[in-house]
Structure 1
Amino acid sequence: MRLDGRVAVVTGGTKGLGRRIVEAFASEGCKVVAAGRDKSAGADLVESGGDVIVHEADVRDPESVDELMRAAAEYFGHLDIVVANAGVSRPGPAAQLAPADFADTMATNLGGVFHCTRSAVPYLERSEHGGRIVNLSSALATRVAPGASAYAATKAAVEMFTRVTAVELAPKGITVNALCPGLIDEGMTRSIKDNERVWALYAPKLAMGRLGSPDEVTAAALFLAGAESSYVNGHVLEVNGGLNW
């Protein structure tokens, strides 16, 4: 029960890696609010047992995020951990990318992290366990992938936002770190191995010869959210098996 007594909010928590993080936190004694745009998508999370509730929220909307954090703190009594995981990808060459798609990627991936941080601080600074913010980055934050300009730009920005806010919030007893998955057999990259042409391009980049498992990512999330990482701050933790890219 590494997170016993703690309360967490996980955005994008009804599917993909976010859902896996919710399940991992709950298994370690954490009370979790799984947030997503479609509340019905996480109905079975509540039915599976444990202290998990699902809250509909849009991280692009600061008022929606304010309500999310307030609801979590009121329902469970306090708030200790925020995992800013919600994200979208709108692939395409930059010169051909629709402005609306670029704007939506920025608003969700970067704006969502900003809104979560801003809204959560008043609650996290009162945490008896030490507040934790874990922002989701990506291997594409530091690697060139043609067609991923919008997504990659947001993740690079998330990493610098993480480093700056880590320094700003340290005096309040809040740590801020980024979790940076490589190619994981879940969520956005799960389909890679099922496409022979695409897999042929990416397989040689995987030093361990395989995609990472969701459990390998959630183990890192548990570390960053728990007591073991109390002196880890402003760090980008890559979970990629030695990505040769």
Structure 2
Amino acid sequence: MSLAGHSAVVTGGSRGLGLLIADRLAARGCVVTLAARDEDELDDARAKLQPRHPQVAVRTSVCDVRDEAAVDAMMRGAHEAAGGPDIVVANAGIIQVAPLESIDDRDFAAAMDTMFLGAAHTALAALPHLRESPHGGRLALVSSVGGLLGVPHLLPYACAKAATGVLAEGLHAEVAADGVSVTAVYPGLMRTGSHLHAQFGGEHTKEYAWFSALAGAPLISMNAQRAAERIVHALVRRRTRLVLTPAARAADLAHGVAPALTTRLNSLAARLLPSGPRGREPLREGKDVASPQGPVTGRLQGLGSAMNEEAADAYNQRAD
């Protein structure tokens, strides 16, 4: 379906999945506003997208989704520059990978501020425009398989994503009568290169090792371009819920049918993950934990991280 004449906003749009979703929207003829915190990353993202889609405008807007006023201003700016927006994707997020003993309430607060409140600010600022869209507004909130069940060593992330999923489902019920569709998106692991910007605690290199290996493993993770295409297709079709990757769908089904058993299996999986020192230490980004030439990454090549490293180059994850 063509989206010519539509205007879209994608938060977290400067790299990774957000950048790919913006690419797929622009490919359908949609004017796109990329919103993120880092101006340099946004400039790099626009430089990647605009030559691919010269028929539409690719805009950028520096915006911290944790700041309600900033989100309101960003949405007004998108409306004044490009009309609409008719489509909004709340995708901004952070990933914290650490055992429970190495985190505290500050990490939960950071995850909730960025992913849940960020999605809420985005949705609430967008709804007045989406209600007025002549095309019928479309809103997508990106949750995660971590929002479907508690994933060990990803607890702050999982809690925030669970709240985001509930927000999407509640909004769908409340705004359907206004002609606005809301899609809750639950991706599984994807090869986006996000391991370089994920934050790691506890035994940093070991946490980085297991996460980056799984995130890049071909049989477990999903090609991010295919994921972005499916998300945009779900938006166009006004689907209520989209769960991506066979592993995520299996986890969703298992937790729905046998939640107690799934929780016990999660407990067994947690025992296989690295333990960490008690007490919170500063989390470190993946790009600071191991270099592409380092021994950790070298061992991971055979486990699938090579594909994730290629994705990092392609999807603007190398920017500092």
TM-score surpassing 0.5? yes
Q: Secondary structure in 1 aligned to 2:22? A: helix
Structure 1 residues 8-157: aligned runs within 5 Å: 8-47=8-47, 48-49=50-51, 50-157=56-163
In the TM superposition, what whole-angstrom CA distance separates every residue of 1:164-186 from its partner, at most 9, and x where no partner exists?
11111111111111111111110
Secondary structure of residue in 2 paired with 1:58: coil
Q: Quick one: which of 218, 221, 232 aligns to 2:228? A: 218
Distance 2:176 2:142 in 1: 19
Whether the 8 Å contact between 1:134 and 1:224 is mirrored in structure 2 is no
Aligned to 1:241: 246
Instruction: Please state if 1:209 is matched with 2:207.
Output: no
Larger mean CA deviation between 24-33 and 84-93 belongs to 84-93
Q: How many angstroms apart in 2 are the aligned matches of 1:45 and 1:89?
A: 21
* Aligned CA distance change for structure 1 residues 138 and 125 (closer, same or farther; 3 Å): same
How far the C-alpha of 1:137 sits from its partner, in A, is 0.9
Q: Distance in 2 between matches of 1:167 and 1:197?
A: 41
Structure 1 residues 189 and 200, CA gap change in structure 2 (3 angstroms): closer
Greater per-residue helix proportion: 2
> Aligned partner of 2:3: which letter?
L
Relative distance call for 1:78 and 1:9 in structure 2 (3 A) is same
- Tell me how far apart the structure 1 counterparts of residues 40 and 118 of structure 2 sit (CA, whole Å): 21
Take 1:65 and 1:105, find their aligned partners in 2: how far apart are those partners? 17
The alignment partner of 2:32 has SS state of strand
Over the aligned positions, Cα root-mean-square deviation in angstroms equals 2.5
Are the aligned partners of 1:36 and 1:55 in contact in 2 as well (CA < 8 Å)?
yes
For residues 117-176 of structure 1, the C-alpha deviation after alignment (integer angstroms, 9 at most, x for no partner) is 111111000011111110111111123322111100111111111111111111111111
Is the 8 Å Cα contact of residues 195 and 211 (structure 2) preserved in structure 1?
no
- CA shift for structure 1 position 221: 1.8
Specify the alignment match of 2:267 in structure 1: none
For these two proteins, the number of residue pairs brought into alignment is 235
Unpaired runs of at least 5, structure 2: 199-205, 252-320
Task: Check conservation: 1:165, 1:176, Cα contact below 8 A.
Answer: yes
- Partner of 2:33, secondary structure, is strand
Is structure 2 residue 186 aligned with structure 1 residue 180? yes
Deviation at 1:190, TM superposition (A): 7.8
Question: Bigger radius of gyration, 1 or 2?
Answer: 2
CA distance in 1, matches of 2:234, 2:133: 16
CA–CA distance in structure 1, aligned partners of residues 193 and 131 of structure 2 = 32
Indicate the larger mover: 85-94 or 100-109.
85-94
Paired with 1:106 and 1:165, the residues of 2 have a C-alpha distance of 18
Q: Secondary structure at the match of 1:125?
A: helix
Does the residue aligned with 1:224 lie in a helix, a strand or coil? helix
Asked if the contact 1:212–1:241 (Cα under 8 Å) also holds between the matched residues in 2, the reply is no
**CA shift for structure 1 position 94:** 3.2
Percent pairwise identity: 32
TM (norm. structure 2) is 0.68
Please list every run of 5 or more consecutive structure 1 residues that lacks an aligned counterpart in the other structure.
Answer: none
- Kindly provide the amino acid, as one letter, of the partner of residue 93 in structure 1: P
> Aligned to 2:191, what secondary structure does the other structure show?
coil
Counterpart of 2:94 in 1: which secondary structure?
coil
Does the aligned pair in 1 maintain the 2:6–2:29 contact within 8 Å? Answer: yes
Q: How far apart in 2 are the matches of 1:43 and 1:197?
A: 31
